[in-house]
Structure formats: structure tokens, C-alpha cells
Structure 1
């Protein structure tokens, strides 16, 4: 028998993820060594937009954070990028949004 597929979520981890997204205009759940994470951050830097990067690889709750993000967004991979509380994708998605001008429009809303 393998491990149970039922995952118990730590409410503190879920709250941390939710509160971080709610309290920051732009949040990037990231790993410092990830080239796609760097790609995502670069798009915001080119727009001179502030963002909150949560570098998860050295956190004890890294796997749990990725589990919560997986439930929220459909994937555990990083980066997981949120603007104005909405998930907008990963590194390639953010780059495409930047290139099309949509990222700047998102940042100018609200």
C-alpha cells in the first residue's frame, strides 16, 4: 500500500498564502535558483513595479506551500504569480502578458 492520497492541510500555511496574496498587490511564490522565477520577476522590474517574492526553497513549509498553491492554481510549480489577488500564471505566462501590454494594464487597475 502506498501513502494516502488524502492530504491534510495546515490551516496556518493556507492562511499565510491567502494573507500574503491579499495584502500585496503582486506576489511571486518563487525559488531563488529557478530561471522561470527570475523571468517573472524581470517583467515586473522592467515596469518598475514592486512585488513581494516569497522564496520558498529554504522554508520548512516549502512542500505545504506548494500543495496549497497546487490546490489554488492547478499546479505546484513555481513561479506562481498573483496580481491584485488573481493568479496570472508562471514565468512564461507573465512574460507573454508583459510583451502584450496586458501586465502593465493589470498593474494600473484598482
Structure 2
């Protein structure tokens, strides 16, 4: 059974072309958001350390993706991973295509 918070995560991912679940103090989160900023794309960030249900949402992300850490990045409704995954997508040229597809 999908938890209430997993449903919330799925709704956020569906409603936003690029969704980043983050923590405000996390250097990897900052790097990922900076990479997206440099691509000049709109992204929605949810700082889990700044909301009451942050831990619940992080557990739900794990339920859905098997990833415990942040950032947890979704592009076009698909989980792409964390910062290192995002940097690899950028390096191999796939990031632009994923972004384009997310906004089409």
C-alpha cells in the first residue's frame, strides 16, 4: 500500500516538470539546483528540512525510489536520481533532452 506521503510525492512529481526534493544545508542539493539553474529551466524545490513532514516525505521517496538521500530529482515524472546522476546526465548530453521532453 502506498502511504499518504508517497501519494503526496507522486502528486508533486506529476504537477511539476522538474521536481527536486532537497535539504537547504546539503551541498549536493545546492550543486544539483545550480546545475538546473545553469540550464535555465524552471524547477520546483521542496526543502525537506524546512517543513514539518520532511522526514515522512523522505521516507516516502525511499518507498518509491529506493533512494534514501537527497537530492531526489524527478524530470518529466521520472526519477533520475541524485546529484551525481544529474551530473552524469549533463556530462553525457542526456540532460538537455530530458528537460526538453519534460516541457513538451
- Common fold: TM-score over 0.5: yes
2:69 to 67, 70, 77: 77
DSSP-derived class of the 1:68 partner: helix
DSSP-derived class of the 1:20 partner: helix
- State how many pairs are aligned: 102
DSSP-derived class of the 1:108 partner: helix
Q: Distance in 2 between matches of 1:96 and 1:68?
A: 25
DSSP-derived class of the 2:50 partner: coil
CA positional deviation for 1:75: 1.6
CA positional deviation for 1:9: 6.7
- Indicate how the Cα distance of structure 1 residues 9 and 15 shifts in structure 2: closer, same or farther if over 3 A, else same: closer
More helix by share: 2
Q: 5+ unaligned residues in a row in structure 1: which ranges?
A: 1-7
CA positional deviation for 1:84: 0.4
TM-score, length-scaled by structure 2: 0.91
> Could you list the runs of 4 or more consecutive aligned residues of structure 1 that deviate by over 2 angstroms after TM superposition?
none
1:23 aligns to 2:9 (yes or no): no
